[in-house]
Structure 1
Amino acid sequence: MRLGRSLVLRGWALLGAVALCSALPGVATLGGSAHAGVTLEERKLPMRFSWVACEPNCRGWVSAVGIVTADSPGDFDEFARGRQLGGVTIVLDSSGGSVNDSIALGRRWRNLGALTTVGISLQTRSAQGDRASVAPEAYCESMCVFLLLSGKTRYVPEAAHVRVHQIWMGDRADDAKAASYTAQDLMIVERDIGRLAKYTFDMGGAGDLLSLSLNVPPWEDLHELSRAELRLTNLVTTDAVAEVLPPADIPVVPVVELPAKPVQDRFVSSAVPAEITPQPAKSTKTAEAVVPTGGVAVTAPAQQ
């Protein structure tokens, strides 16, 4: 992999404790105690797609957890094969990933007429059987924000964290200020910013989203978007969770309504962290976003 030619959108501000655990790829199982660490690990791995069923009274949804890699568009195509996914809801919990591959995946979702939101998909065991639900305490960082934008209808719960930052060269994000850059590097950065800008407007996003993202360098903390900024950027199109998830009478953890509060974000290019034991995510010749590695929000070097 030539990381020098790879732009990565990365979020490394720490996510704090996540509400519920994940025992299956992309689907957390609630059995009494929460395993936030497991959920965090899921978001560091390559993106996995899972179908969450909430029968018999409602349709299910797609859980998308992890970072977008060069394999993600193909993995989604494989997952979608044989399924009727027109108008499906996609629930995101991700630290971002490859810029170009996220764009490709987002366009697939828009072609499906998908609805998007942020949350952790859960399977709750009860005497009446397994019930599906969504916990709002999730993270959508870096390129995940642009995947969220692909939904025709977009809902973000108040408890969710949506964060943005700059695009940067993947192999130099660890010490961006000290690194040197060539004309070829600048060409790659500007090329991918152009692709991202076109995608943003094609999806109905506002220029404010690019402005907020591109103003946060890799040596600063991610910028978490406030409720006002979520609307300003057109990331949110509805305040009604029922427009993207099953009705409240189905046992679903409510995704809190949207009041106004501040946030932060950033773009960065770098390589996917190799600290995860499972197969590490692959980077491509484009920007990628990855998950934080700590337990508290800190200004840390990018480790794509």
Structure 2
Amino acid sequence: MRFVVVRSSAPGCEPNCPEWISAEGTIEASTPTLFRRLLKTLGGRQLPIVVNSPGGNVDAALQLGRMIRKNKLDIAVGITEFSGCSPGMKNCRGNDAKQQPYSGVAHDSGAMCNSACPLMFAGGIRRVAGEWAYLGVHQITTTFRREKLLYRTTYRIVNGKKKIIGTTIVSRRNAGSYKTYEMSKAIEKRLSAYLKEMGVEQSILDVMKATPASDIRQIEPDDMLEMKLVTSLDSLDLLTEKSMCLRNPV
């Protein structure tokens, strides 16, 4: 997942245009570290997050959710369209080096927060997903990897018996992997505790368990509100709209 700060390029917005954190892409094991790094550049500013993600690593999503809650940040499902300079362009690297915000606008048409993403999303103080955004869940896929290890053991004879004095791994190799597509009791317990911590209803777990890992179950707006997954039926305009330009920056 890529994180950058974006300043609204809406006409007539200056001098106090709203800013937000654009979070785009797959949640990976390294994503919490990247997010923590970005937060350190904000000087305590509580910018809202606009997220567009197919999901990813569950453990990382839980870490992100807790970081978002700890920093009291709002979150919305949405896509950021950059104006001119955008992340990844060679001539835009100066923005990252100087920690300058990119320019753009946010919308929810075609935006998604699927799989593990709703767990990250649950960490927001205010949480919104407009009618054009897609928020979906399914069963958890767990990958188990096997390794074959070769050890060298050093020992000596003490009173006629072997006494191990050291063991060292001399080689390791991949011995294959396998996946499971059902939520284990241990994972369900962890997710249940997390959702309770975030103030989200447990009923979302039932939807996750009832949806095959090969499918995605879209959660409708009214159901999201009932589950307390969203805090209102507003769209991301609540956090990024032009009218916010009339206020002081967050």
**TM-score band, normalised by shorter chain:** 0.5 to 0.7
**How many residues end up aligned between the 2 structures?**
190
2:211 to 216, 219, 234: 216
User: Contact between 2:140 and 2:183, CA under 8 Å: does it hold in 1?
Assistant: no
Q: How many Å separate the matches in 1 of 2:129 and 2:183?
A: 32
Q: One-letter code of the match for 2:68?
A: W
C-alpha displacement of 1:56? 2.5
The answer on 1:102 being equivalent to 2:75 is no
Query: What is the CA RMSD across the aligned residues, in angstroms?
Result: 2.8
| 1:118–1:180 distance in 2 versus 1, CA, 3 Å | closer
| 1:95–1:186 distance in 2 versus 1, CA, 3 Å | closer
User: Post-superposition, which runs of at least 4 consecutive aligned residues in structure 1 deviate over 4 A?
Assistant: 185-188
Q: One-letter code of the match for 1:112?
A: N
The answer on 1:153 being equivalent to 2:126 is yes
User: Contact between 2:225 and 2:233, CA under 8 Å: does it hold in 1?
Assistant: no
The answer on 1:49 being equivalent to 2:21 is no
Identical columns (%): 27
Q: What are the residue-to-residue correspondences of 1:191-202 with 2, within 5 Å?
A: 191-202=186-197
Q: Which runs of 5+ in 1 are unaligned?
A: 1-46, 173-178, 251-304
Q: What are the residue-to-residue correspondences of 1:1-304 with 2, within 5 Å?
A: 47-54=1-8, 56-124=15-83, 132-137=104-109, 138-170=111-143, 189-219=184-214, 221-241=215-235, 242-248=237-243
| 1:186–1:212 distance in 2 versus 1, CA, 3 Å | closer
Of the structure 1 ranges 107-116 and 185-194, higher mean CA displacement relative to structure 2 is found in 185-194
TM-score (norm 1): 0.57
Q: How many Å separate the matches in 1 of 2:34 and 2:239?
A: 23
Deviation per CA, 1:132-181: give whole Å up to 9, x if none.
Answer: 31121201101111111111101111100001001133369xxxxxx988
Q: How many Å separate the matches in 2 of 1:187 and 1:120?
A: 31
Q: How many Å separate the matches in 1 of 2:182 and 2:213?
A: 18
Q: One-letter code of the match for 1:49?
A: F
Q: How many Å separate the matches in 2 of 1:97 and 1:203?
A: 20
